[in-house]
Amino acid sequence: MNADPMLPARYLVADTRRETHDSVSLRIVPAGEPLPAFRPGQFTMLYRQGVGEIAISVSGDPSAADGSLTQTIRDVGAVSRALCRCEPGDIVGVRGPFGTGWDLESAAGHDLVVVAGGVGLAPLRPVVLGALARRAEFGRVVVITGARNPREFLFREQLAGWADDPRLEVTLTIDQPAAHWHGQVGFVTEPLARQETEPARTIAFLCGPEPMMRFSAEALMARQIPAASIRLSLERNMKCGVGLCGHCQLGPLLICRDGPIVDYETAQPLLAVREL
Amino acid sequence: MTFPAAVLSMAGLDELISTLAGDGYRVVGPTLRDQAIVLAELTSAGDLPAGWAVQTGPGTYRLKRRADSAVFCHSAGPQSWKQFLHPPDRKLWSADRDGFHPADDRQQPPFAFLGVRACDLAAIDTLAGVLGAGAWPDRSFRGRYRGLFVVAAGCTEPGGVCFCASMGTGPRPGPGYDLALTEQIDQAGHRFVVEAGTEAGAQVIARISHRAAGEAELIAARAAVDAAAAAMGRQMPAVDLAGLLAASRDSVSWEQVAERCLTCGNCTMVCPTCFCTTTRDSSGETGEHAERWQHWASCFELDFSYLHGGSVRSSGESRYRQWITHKLGTWHDQFGRSGCVGCGRCIAWCPVGIDITEEIATLVALREEGAGEAAGD
C-alpha cells in the first residue's frame, strides 16, 4: 500500500473511451502496488506528468476485482485536457481514494432515487452498479439523468441497457428539444417532481451542477423527503485531498475530508450563501 | 511530575544555547535583522536582540530602544515558528522513469526553539492539531514537530496589538514546553527564572550552570507574567465567536471591511497558524524529470477557490469573510479548537490596519442592532 498520501502511485492507462465531445473515461491499472479499493462516491487525485493534478471521481464498477480504476474526466482546463488526451500505455499518477462515499450500505431496505446532471453521472454510476449487484437489498431504484442534448449523456450504451432493465426505472431528459429525441425534455426536477415517492423509505443521491442539486433537493423535500435522506456530491478546489491544504472549504466542511458526499441537512444552509 | 525551578544568568543562557547546539539541535530564536526582530538560527546569546523592544499597532511595527539589555522583552515579529515547522516552500517529490520518489527531509537535525511566547506555543499546538493529527497527517511536519525542543519565554511586555489573554492562550505559557524562562532585570541583576515542563528540559538544566530558584523568585516571575494580561493593547470580545460568525454570513460588515481590505494575504502569511498550501508542478525540458513543490497559499488569492469556470470566492468580502470565519469559527468544526491565538500579527502587518478584534466587535454590534430592531418591530 502507498502509505504516503502525498506520493502518487504509478498507474498505466489500459483503455480510453470517449464518452462525449469533451469527456473521456480512462481505465487505469496499477503499474506497481495497487491503491486501496474505492468506495462509490470517493475520488482520486489524478496526475499527468509535467502538467498537474486534479480531483476526479471514480466512475467504475465497485466490484471490479482486478485493481483497475475507471475515472471519467471532462475537459475543462489544462490538466483535465491532458488527461483526456491520454492513450493506452501512458502512465498517470494516482493518489487516493479519498473522501466520504455514498454509503449505499446504509440505504439497504430503501427505495433509491439517483439524480444526475451531465458529468455528474460519473460518481453515481458505481451507485447504480452497486445496487444492481445487490438488487434484492433495495426497493425501487429510480435513475433520473439529464444532459444538455442527447450527445452529452455519459455511458450512452450502458444507459440504453439500464433503460431496458426491468429492475431499474430510468428517465433521461434533455434541456432543449432535439431532432430524433423521443425522451423527456426539461430539467431533471420535472420527472423528479412526478415521482410517487414514499418519504420514509426513500434515499436520494444527487450529483450535478450545484443549482441542479439544490433544485432537485428542494423538489424532494417538497415531497416530504427529509433533508438527511438526500445525499449530494459537492465539488470545491482540491489540492492535497487529505484535509491539509485548506483549499476545499465550504463553511465548516473540508470537502475532501468531510465530503465530497454530504447530506442536504448539512449542505442546505451552506449552499444558500453566495461565495461561501 | 514537577521539577525544581532554577535561575540562569546571561552566561547560563548562552550555555543553554551551546548545550542544545552540542546535542545536535538547530537552535532558533529572536535576532535583529532588517529593522525587525526575526527568527533565525542562533550561535550564542550574543545573537539575541539585547536592549530592543517593539512598538506595534494597526499597520505598525517599529523597533524601539530599551533602557536595559533585556533579550525577550519584545512582542511578536513578522515571522512565527511556522516558518520552520511548516516551511514556506518544500519539495514533496520528484518523478522519473522509475517512479515517484518522496523528498527526504528526515535527515535534517531537529529544532530547538528559544523564546517561544505563550501565544506562539499555543500556535505550535494549533498547527499540530491540523497538520500532525487526523487520518492523513503531514509526515514531514510531524517529524519536525516530534523532534522539537521548546524553550518558552514568559511574556512580561505585551504589545499594542496583543490579545492572547482574551483568547485564553497566555500570557503564561501553557503546556508543550520543555523549559519556560522568565526574564527578570532589577537591582539583583539580569537573570532568567526557569521552570522545566519535561524530563528532557530538566536534564538540560542539570547540565548547565544554574542555581536553585527561591520560592519568592518563582512567585515574582510568575506574577510578572500574569500581570502582562492587563497590559495588552487589545481584547477579543467575549462572545461565542463560532456562533456569531455562523450567524453573520450575510452581514453588511463584509462589504465595509472589503472597502479597506487589499486582499494582499499579509495576515495569512504572518499568522502563526494559517496553514494553507498549494502545489507547483514542474518538469524538465525533456519531460522525463518532474517535481512537485508545496508552498504557502492564502485564502485571499483569487485562485485559491478556483473551480472550472471561475473562483467560488471572487469578491473581496467573501475572501475576508472566509479568513476570519475560518480562523475564529469553523476551525472549531474542523479541528476542535480556535485557529486564533491572539498574537496580533495580522493587525500589525495589515497594510491598512484592519483589526480582527474590531471586526468582531462590529459584528457583535450589528447583531445587537438587528436584535433590537427585531424586538422593536
Which one of B86, B101, B292 makes the best mutation probe of the A interface by having the most chain A beta carbons within 10 Å?
B292
CB B297 to CB A242 under 8 A?
no
- Are residues A249 and B92, on separate chains, in Cβ contact within 8 Å? no
Residue A252 lies in a domain: no
Other beta carbons less than 10 A from residue B373's beta carbon? 9
Q: Determine, for residues B281 and A51 on separate chains, whether the beta-carbon distance falls below 8 Å.
A: yes
SS3 (DSSP) at B283: strand
Mean pLDDT of B13-18: 98
The set of cell numbers assigned to B284 is 524538465
The chain-wide mean pLDDT, for chain B, equals 95
Q: Is residue A27 part of a domain?
A: yes
Asked whether residue A42 is assigned to any structural domain, the reply reads yes
Is B336 an 8 Å CB contact of chain A? no
The pLDDT value recorded for residue B153 is 97
**Domain for residue A253, yes or no?**
no
> What pTM does this model have?
0.96
B296 touches chain A (CB under 8 A): no
Nearest neighbour of A49 by CB, restricted to B287, B297, B306:
B287
Q: Which domain holds residue B143?
A: 6-231
The 3-state DSSP class for residue A146 equals strand
Residue ending a domain, among A233, A253, A268, is: A233
Q: How many helices (H) and strands (E) does chain B have?
A: 14, 16
Question: Would you say residue A246 lies in a domain?
Answer: no
CB B20 within 8 A of CB B13: no
Count of helices and strands (H, E) across chain A: 7, 15
Q: Which of residues 110-149 of B touch A (CB under 8 A)?
A: 130-131, 134-136, 138-139
B309: nearest CA in chain A? A76
Strand partners, A170: A143
From chain B, pick out residues whose CB is under 8 angstroms from the CB of A56. Answer: none
Looking at the structure, tell me whether residues A192 and A124 fall in a common domain: yes
Smallest CA-to-CA distance from B100 within A5, A64, A120 is with: A5
DSSP letter string over B118-152?
A: HHHHHHHHHHHHHHSSSSS--HHHHHHHHT-EEEE
Q: Are residues B245 and B227 in the same domain?
A: no
Cβ B143 vs Cβ B111: under 8 Å: no
Three state DSSP letters for B61-124: EEEEECCCCCCCCCCCCCCCCHHHHCCCEEEEEEEECCEEEECCCCCCCCEEEEEECHHHHHHH
B97 or A75: whose pLDDT is higher? Answer: A75
Asked whether the predicted pLDDT for residue B377 surpasses 60, the reply is: no
Would an 8 Å CB–CB cutoff place B255 in contact with chain A?
no
Check CB contact under 8 Å for A240 and B277: yes
- Tell if the CB–CB gap between A247 and B99 is shorter than 8 Å: no
Q: What are phi and psi of A236, to 5 degrees?
A: -145, 165
| Whole-angstrom Cα Rg for chain B | 22
C-beta atoms of A246 and B131 within 8 A: no
- From CA B5, how far away is CA B218, in angstroms rounded? 7
CB-CB under 8 Å, A237 with B306? yes
Q: Is it true that the peptide bond before B171 is cis, omega within 30 degrees of 0?
A: yes
- Pull the grid cell for residue B38: 526575526
B189 and B265, same domain (yes or no): no
A261 lies in a domain?
Answer: no
Which residues in chain B have Cβ-Cβ distances shorter than 8 Å to A243? Answer: 134-136, 334
Whether residues A120 and A224 share a domain: the answer is yes
Burial B223-237 (b: 16+ CB within 10 A, else e): ebbeebbeebbbebe
| Residue of B91, B93, B94, B100 for testing the chain A interface, max A β-carbons within 10 Å | B100
User: How many domains does chain B divide into?
Assistant: 2
Report how far residue A180's alpha carbon sits from residue A199's, in angstroms, rounded to the nearest whole number: 36
Q: How far is B122 from chain A (nearest CA, A)?
A: 19
pLDDT at B376: 62
Integer Cα distance of A185 and A171 in angstroms:
10
Structural domain including A197 reads 104-233
A contact test, residue of B106, B254, B276, B338 with most A CBs within 10 A: B276
Of B213, B231, B249, the residue at which a domain comes to its end is: B231
Domain boundary among B200, B231, B262: B231
Please report how many Cα atoms fall inside a 13 Å half-sphere around the Cα of residue B212, on the Cβ side: 4
Pick from A73, A98, A123: which residue ends a domain?
Answer: A98
Please give the average per-residue pLDDT across A107-122, as a whole number.
97
Same domain, B251 and B369: yes
Angle between helices B118-131 and B139-146 (to 10 degrees): 140
- What is the grid cell recorded at B206? 542539570
Do residues A155 and A163 make contact, with C-beta atoms less than 8 angstroms apart?
no
Alpha carbon of B99: minimum distance to chain A alpha carbons (Å): 7
CATH number at residue A48: 2.40.30.10
- Contacting B residues, span 43-72, partner chain A, CB-CB under 8 Å: none
Per-residue pLDDT tens over the stretch B207-223: 999 999 999 999 999 99
* Domain boundary residue, one of B205, B231, B257: B231
User: What's the confidence (pLDDT) of residue B185?
Assistant: 96
Of all residues in chain A, the one with the smallest CA distance to B134 is: A243
Per the CB < 8 A criterion, the answer to whether A233 and A242 are in contact is no
Query: Which range (A58-67, B67-76, B110-119, B127-136) has the least confidence?
Result: A58-67
Chain center to CA of A175: 20
- Which chain B residue has the Cα nearest residue A234? B307
Is A92 in the same domain as A108?
Answer: no
pLDDT digits (tens, 9 = 90+) for A68-99: 999 999 999 999 999 999 999 999 999 999 99
The residue ranking higher by pLDDT, B300 or B285, is B300
Last residue of a domain, one of A41, A66, A98: A98
More confident residue, B284 or A36: A36
Whether the Cβ atoms of residue A236 and residue A251 lie closer than 8 Å to each other: no
At residue A180, the 3 state secondary structure works out as: coil
Question: CA-CA distance, B214 to B219, in Å (whole number)?
Answer: 9
* Shortest CA distance from B248: residue in chain A: A273
CA distance B339 to chain A (A): 13
Contacts with A6 from chain B: Cβ below 8 Å: 92-93, 102, 138
Q: With contacts defined as CB-CB under 8 Å, which chain B residues touch A257?
A: 134-135
**Closest residue of A to B315, CA-based?**
A275
Per the domain annotation, does B1 fall within a domain?
Answer: no
B256 in the same domain as B167: no
Assess whether A224 and A141 both reside in one domain. yes
Task: Tell whether the model's pLDDT for residue B100 goes beyond 60.
Answer: yes
Is residue A260 in some structural domain?
A: no
Q: Which residue of B has its CA nearest to A5?
A: B136
Taking the CA atoms of A208, A173, A154 and A80 in sequence, report the sign of the dihedral they define.
negative
Task: Please state the domain count of chain A.
Answer: 2
Q: How far is A145 from chain B (nearest CA, A)?
A: 22
% residues pLDDT > 70 (chain B): 98
Distance between first and last Cα of chain A: 36
CA distance linking residue B209 with residue B194, whole number of Å: 12
Specify the range with the lowest mean pLDDT, choosing from A167-171, B60-64, B132-136: B132-136
Cell 494553507 belongs to residue: B276
Residues B215 and B301 in one domain: no
Q: What is the pLDDT of residues A211-260, one digit of tens each?
A: 999 999 999 999 999 999 999 999 999 999 999 999 999 999 999 999 99
CB nearest A236 (choices: B93, B307, B333)? B307
Q: Please tell me whether residues B224 and B335 are part of one structural domain.
A: no
CATH of the domain at A223: 3.40.50.80
Nearest chain B alpha carbon to A4? B139
pLDDT score, position A66: 87
Mark whether A108 and A228 lie in a shared domain: yes
**Is there a contact between A93 and B95 if contact means CB atoms under 8 Å apart?**
yes
Chain A residues with beta carbon closer than 8 angstroms to that of B304: 237, 247
B249 has a chain A CB within 8 A of its CB: yes
- For residue B335, the chain A residue with the least C-alpha distance is A252
> Nearest CA of chain A to the CA of B326: how many Å?
8
Judged against a pLDDT cut of 70, whether residue A1 lies above it is answered with no
Residue A160 grid cell: 440504453
| Interchain contact, A7 vs B95, CB within 8 Å | no
Once rounded to an integer, what is the mean pLDDT over residues A190-218?
A: 96
Is the domain of A88 the same as that of A146?
no
Question: Rounded to a whole number, what is the distance in Å from the CA of B85 to chain A's nearest CA?
Answer: 14
Looking at the fold, whether B166 and B302 belong to one and the same domain comes out as: no
Contact A236 B304 (CB under 8 A): no
Please give the residue of chain A at the shortest CA–CA distance from B91. A6
Q: Is residue A134 a part of any domain in this protein?
A: yes
Based on the fold, state whether residues B217 and B255 are members of the same structural domain.
no
The answer to the question of residue B236 being in a domain is: no
Selected residue of A81, A244, A274 to mutate for chain B interface (largest B Cβ count, 10 A) = A244
Q: Is residue B371 part of a domain?
A: yes
**Yes or no, beta carbons of B277 and A239 under 8 Å apart:** yes
